[in-house]
Chain A
Amino acid sequence: MGKVINDGLLLFYGCIFFLFIPWNTDAAAAEVTVESDMNLQEMIDHAEPGDTLNIQEGLYRGSITISKPITLVAQNGAIIDGRGNGNVITIASDGVVIKGFTIQNSGKDKDNSGILLKEVKDVVIDSNHISNVLFGIYSEKSSNNIIKNNDIESFDTHFSKRGNGIHLYYGHGNFIGNNRIKNVQDGIYFDSNSKSNIQNNTVEDSRYGFHFMFSEDISAEENDIQKNVTGFMIMDSKNLQFNRNQITDQFHFRGFGILIYDSSNIVIEENEIRQNSSGLYFENAEQTHIRQNLIAANQVGIEFKGDNIDNVLTENNFIGNVVQSKIADKDILLNGQQKGNYWDDYSSYDLTGDGIGEIPYKAGSIYDQILKSHPYWQFYFESPAIKIWSKAESMFPSIGTANVYDEKPLTLPVHFEKEKKNQKEKSKLSLLIYGLILTSSSVFILLKGKRME
């Protein structure tokens, strides 16, 4: 017993001692102020490791290279301009911090970028505004870095002449959060990267939102991807996890919300996939787990090609997609073991009370067929005339070849626990109030009309 206490005390003193160790770098750490008429590169070269450079407002021309662990903090309005040549900032040391700069005008060659991380770790890139560069941030074989709160924009041309917002080439354990990326080629490109976490970023008006190649163990949460060609492009990757992302308005002719190609073990949960040309696309995907997503108002809800094995789709809401699911060239089962999905064009009833309809849902309606030959007739989507037509046609078993089916379709949409409760109560009460106002005013007019004369 006493020995345990002794050990505890020892640990305690150890900690105290640890706190007061005069660390080399700390002792020498200095705050240096850099004015706009000084040469920034020289100031960096003269700094000691651990120093903090406060960069005053002004325009600093020329690229810089940082090869020791220092902190660069911009006062508001400090601009580093690469003069259209090479990389604007090259980081070649661990533990560098870059904060609050406007970084602009990189070169246009190969992988020129706003900030290049060259085989380093523990770097923090925070609150910078990066524009007019080929790549925003290029991380080459770098690990455990934090990239957050940055605004990134590439050149104002076609996306084929731009670089990626954030490019991760090898390396692992990077955190990327709260960045706003637009007008680049791919928002965030993971090339052979692993164990990274991406949160709360937005990517707009680019080619792909997130692009995964040969990457694994990456999780993405609450990102907002919109108006790109494709939202998530996932190729030859595995063990990815996506939660609560919003993937909307990928309206390009060949645009996809999430495209999975030759990948395995992808988990997609509680995302909102709206208004894309195709919501989800699977080609040679294995062991994907798609659960509780809202897949709505897409041109095509879900699409399959090639060999897709062991994929589970369960409790998703497929609502108002013009074509809910395209017919595939192989049999596709859309439901999980316990539950299937909600399809808003499914019309059968739940007789046993378990929330599951008694007749399987089959993809591919007569309207899908009509649309293929007359794409412009989409103008009459769900209109009274088309509705009557497809009802009439469905009475004849002319197209019973649908091979994409859900054996356990849900009869009611899945309720996601997303909104706040308070708000809901309020909207419900106003529903009652509106209802009462409408009915009573109508009754008032009715009575008044009747009573006259």
Chain B
Amino acid sequence: MSIYKIARQQLTLIMRSKWLGSFGMLFALLAVFVTYFGNSGQSGYTGFSRMTASLLNLNLLLIPLIALLIGSLFIAGEKEDRGLMLLLTYPVSVKSVLVGKYIGLFLSLWSVITFGYGAAAIVMFIGNADTSISVMFLFYFLSLLLAVFFLALSMMIGLWSRTRFQALGMSLIVWAISVLFYEFIVMGLSIFVTKEWILTLLSISIFLNPVELIRVWAILSLDGASVFGPNLYDLTVWANGWLGQCLFVIASLLWVTVPFYFSHLFVKRRIGNE
């Protein structure tokens, strides 16, 4: 019951701020733009094309950013304003506060993403474009999953930082690393690693970054082997097999539970002391 109330309160707080609305508009506009101008559905091919790649990149760039900013700024702000402290003095467990806030955050982000995809679908209908609906839903599902990961991370960052600005800085650093620098780092490492270890390195790198997890999962679900080419054939074989799919699911669970664990730790250790 208390989880529900906290979630609703969180949702209402976010709705009242202008943040979500402007992000929502931006996301919907870009999604419509990319799907409308970039649909390759008419070509008779629905696999991984450069257009699906740009739609995927839009998600990979924007959703982590929105999730990190909204989540961490709100929670750090509440901490700064002592609202969170007040909440914790009530007879509710830390867990239900965390879960409630998380659900509230997720619902608000869910509505933004859902609106974006819905608007894109309607524009495609009006524009007479025919796009594969299954591909659209795959992307929708993976976008939500990406939001799930990064909201958990954002909550952790929000609870870790002392001020809003610290949360903002930290969020931007995490975003830049996970979306941009991570790939360059792995590419750099692959130059120094001997040939036998490159596949291992790349395989491990998938699971250490939620953005990579979603990116690789999306590509494999679309048509896999041909995108990564003959050199990475072994990787695509195991990743598409049941072992790979299991690892993807386990990694997804870990990317939610581990940040939750740390959030819990931060609340218990730090908030009491501040």
Q: Which residues of A does B touch, CB under 8 Å?
A: 251, 253, 272, 274-275, 277, 294, 296-299, 317, 319-320, 322, 342, 344-345, 374-388, 412-416, 418-419, 424, 427-432, 434-443, 445-446, 449-450, 452-453
Contact = CB atoms under 8 A, between A and B. Distances in A.
- Chain B, interface SS category: helix
- Nearest first, the 4 A-B pairs at minimum CB distance are A438-B118, A435-B121, A439-B118, A413-B43
Given A277-B230, A432-B125, A434-B118, A449 B108 contact: yes
Given A297-B48, A378-B228, A442-B114, A450 B43 contact: no
Nearest to B181: A385
Contacts of B191: 374
A364 to B, nearest CB: 15
A435 B125 CA distance: 9
Nearest to A295: B45
Contacts of B199: 376
Given A443-B115, A449-B11, A296 B47 contact: yes
A445 B53 CA distance: 30
Contact of A320 (B14, B48, B117): B48
Given A320-B49, A446-B115, 7 more contacts: A320-B52, A322-B229, A384-B61, A424-B130, A435-B119, A435-B124, A438-B140
B226 interface: yes
B60 A384 contact: yes
Contact of B43 (A317, A381, A446, A452): A317
Given A435-B121, A438-B118, A442-B114, A376 B202 contact: yes
A297 B43 contact: no
A382 B53 contact: yes
A309 B139 CA distance: 44
A432 B11 CA distance: 28
A251 B118 contact: no
Given A251-B225, A435-B125, A439-B115, A319 B49 contact: yes
Given A382-B53, A412-B42, A437-B118, A376 B47 contact: no
A377 B122 contact: no
A251 B231 CA distance: 11
A414 B232 CA distance: 31
B245 interface: no
Contact of A376 (B8, B137, B231): B231
Contacts, number: 200
A374 B133 contact: no
B222 to A, nearest CB: 9
Contact of B183 (A277, A385, A419): A385
Interface string B211-240: 000010001000101111111110100000
Given A374-B190, A434-B118, A382 B12 contact: no
A422 B43 CA distance: 18
Interface in B117-143: 117-122, 124-125, 128, 130-131, 133, 136-137, 140
A297 B227 contact: yes
Given A322-B227, A452-B8, A434 B133 contact: yes
B43 A438 contact: no
B3 interface: no
A376 B48 contact: no
Contacts of A253: 230
B256 interface: no
A445 B103 CA distance: 13
Interface in B1-18: 8-9, 11-12, 14-16
B121 A434 contact: yes
Contacts of A416: 43-44
Contacts of A413: 40, 42-43
Given A322-B229, A376-B190, A381-B228, A442 B111 contact: yes
A342 B43 contact: yes
A320 B225 CA distance: 13
A163 B150 CA distance: 57
A278 to B, nearest CB: 11
B179 interface: yes
Given A253-B230, A376-B202, A430 B133 contact: yes
A446 B49 contact: no
A449 B47 contact: no
A293 to B, nearest CB: 10
B22 interface: no
Nearest to B131: A431
B168 interface: no
Contacts of B9: 452-453
Contacts of B227: 297, 320, 322, 378, 381
Nearest to B212: A383
B110 interface: yes
B183 A380 contact: yes
A294 B179 contact: no
B93 interface: no
Contacts of B137: 434
A427 B133 CA distance: 8
A2 B40 CA distance: 66
B144 to A, nearest CB: 12
B187 interface: yes
A431 B230 contact: no
Given A297-B47, A297-B223, A441 B114 contact: yes
15 contacts: A275-B225, A299-B226, A378-B229, A378-B231, A382-B54, A383-B183, A385-B183, A427-B133, A431-B124, A431-B131, A435-B119, A442-B112, A443-B115, A446-B15, A449-B8
Q: Name which of A379, A385, A443, A449 has the most chain B CB atoms within 10 A of its CB.
A: A379
A427 B190 contact: no
Contacts of B111: 442-443, 445-446, 449
Contacts of B49: 296-297, 319-320, 344
Given A251-B230, A299-B229, A380-B183, A345 B50 contact: yes
